Structure 1
């Protein structure tokens, strides 16, 4: 068996680490950036923390700020055209998963124009050239898009989200600065934080998991479980720890895959524009319970990493229940809605949601094999 790990060329961590962007641009000889972000990050002066540094250093850039949550094919295609006209030779992605994913798709298509329809990038696309060099700067502690080879695009015409997996898309530089995340509202910190926990837990139990990925995932679970509550309350140390924890989770799942939580979450984004972190957070404990009997001793490890006492003397059934309950309690503590009806899901859509979830690329990595009928029942049970 052969395993693979793909990571950024260079990553920076810690409060204030955004200052390193200037030296990275200069030593790589980049001339002009297309800065991919959204209007709110400009409005609330988050993206300006980067542009101020670029301005001071006399580094040229143009801004593309039309990214929306759950970015669409049209948003990507417009970004491609803006890049072509801008004269840029690299990308800077500032934001959560949506700007990061948009920048990845733009960068891939610029150097692989045969995929300009965007839809053909679904799955493991046979691109031949690396994306335009990208510097990724996350502003949420959750998606880990800055370190993954995955991105997700919404096909509005067909009411579906599709996952793209491409080693050519990974940013060359990632800057994980918790100060760039400090202005997130508590609700967003909570949702993106449980999204990161979902990455770590699904990556730990997915069919593709192996010893090295297990090492990073269990550490990510530990970091997130101890720091998310504090981060949501605005504690700077908690925020810095969450910035690290979500990145560590991304190091793992990017290389081994995910599972049914993500498979069922993606259709919610396509149908209702449900924020991805919220969708994952609502689903996670329920799908953990569904998978429990197919995970060996791993739930004991998860429970222990989440701070549950006495796990070594528990029966396997008790350990599995403890792991699920630890996630339920964390969700309660950070005010995650408990049911799908709380986030706008409509019962009449459940059959179509189940079909989309079964077809999602993430579902194949689930430790328990499933089918459309079982997924439909899960949606109903969680409704």
Structure 2
């Protein structure tokens, strides 16, 4: 099998590396950025961590801060309007996955004809063109969007979370500074941490796995498995924050060069219809979906358990697989991951949307990468199982 490997052209990794943003722009001859971020980054002053180094380098940056937690096509369109109203030569996505995904989608939509809609670029379309380069700077250790060729945008007319894939979504450069995560609250640390663990695990067991992605996924699982609980309980633990940021980035590179699978396929409709944060909906699903596919890729799941640190090389694969399931359940319990019912989603509405959610999950293509590929009825059964 031939693997196609993609990654940003440049990645600056380390504490304080956000201070090097002007230098990174200069390496590519860029000097007129539009910063894409969210309202909290502005109101809290966190965006100054990015803007101040630009000011010191005499670079004037404009800010688009209208992004929302689950990026929508209407917000992307508003961002494109702001982009076209100025003379910008790049976009900087600064924040969690939502600002980064919004910036990447803006670059893709801005390259299209005026009036084009984001749904024209959803999978199976290939979104390989962007109007300008995108630089991504994550402030959470989770989505890995700074390193991937994907963006996820909600269609506000159909309430579908659309997977958009292509080289147009691949950042030109990324700055990965774990010091930006110190202020991330425990709930977000937990949700984004399990999100990155899901990326690594699904990339490793995917039908599209390859040796390059495998090495990144295993490294990410080692880092996340040993440090997620510490980062959750000790927000200012530098070693844990650094390990989680590196693990999230490696997990992003892993699934960008392999794929995600059934957890993500089922997670996106939950986010679209019930506005559950993406990492949290992944966490709700991860134990049950892992159990569903366990025996169809048992050696891989067993090796993942060893990488995470819950099984040893002496454990038989079946034992290691069982330990992995136990770990995923315990992790959810310790990090306070609710069921959809506990989250407040009504049973009638959940049940009524299951056929549509299953259809949307399958349409994303991600379930086809799972070790055990479900049909719509099996997905509905899994949704019912995780509900309560």
**What do you get for the CA RMSD once the two structures are aligned?**
1.5
Correspondence 1:85 to 2:100: no
Question: 2 CA distance for matches of 1:342 and 1:300?
Answer: 31
Which aligned pairs between 1:204-215 and structure 2 lie closer than 5 A? 204-215=204-215
Correspondence 1:221 to 2:221: yes
8 A Cα contact 1:22 1:54, kept in partner = yes
Deviation at 1:87, TM superposition (A): 1.2
Which aligned pairs between 1:339-350 and structure 2 lie closer than 5 A? 339-345=339-345, 346-350=350-354
Correspondence 1:237 to 2:249: no
Which aligned pairs between 1:1-383 and structure 2 lie closer than 5 A? 1-113=1-113, 116-127=116-127, 129-233=129-233, 234=235, 235-314=237-316, 316-337=317-338, 339-345=339-345, 346-383=350-387
Question: 1 CA distance for matches of 2:322 and 2:114?
Answer: 49
Number of residue-to-residue matches in the alignment: 381
8 A Cα contact 2:129 2:167, kept in partner = no
Deviation at 1:313, TM superposition (A): 3.3
Runs (5+) with no aligned partner, structure 2: none
Shift in alpha-carbon separation, 1:10–1:100, aligned structure 2, 3 A: same
Shift in alpha-carbon separation, 1:229–1:116, aligned structure 2, 3 A: same
State the TM-score, normalized to the length of structure 1. 0.96
**SS of alignment partner, residue 313 of structure 1:** coil
Shift in alpha-carbon separation, 1:110–1:309, aligned structure 2, 3 A: closer
State the TM-score, normalized to the length of structure 2. 0.95
8 A Cα contact 2:128 2:166, kept in partner = no
8 A Cα contact 2:298 2:321, kept in partner = no
Question: 2 CA distance for matches of 1:20 and 1:42?
Answer: 20
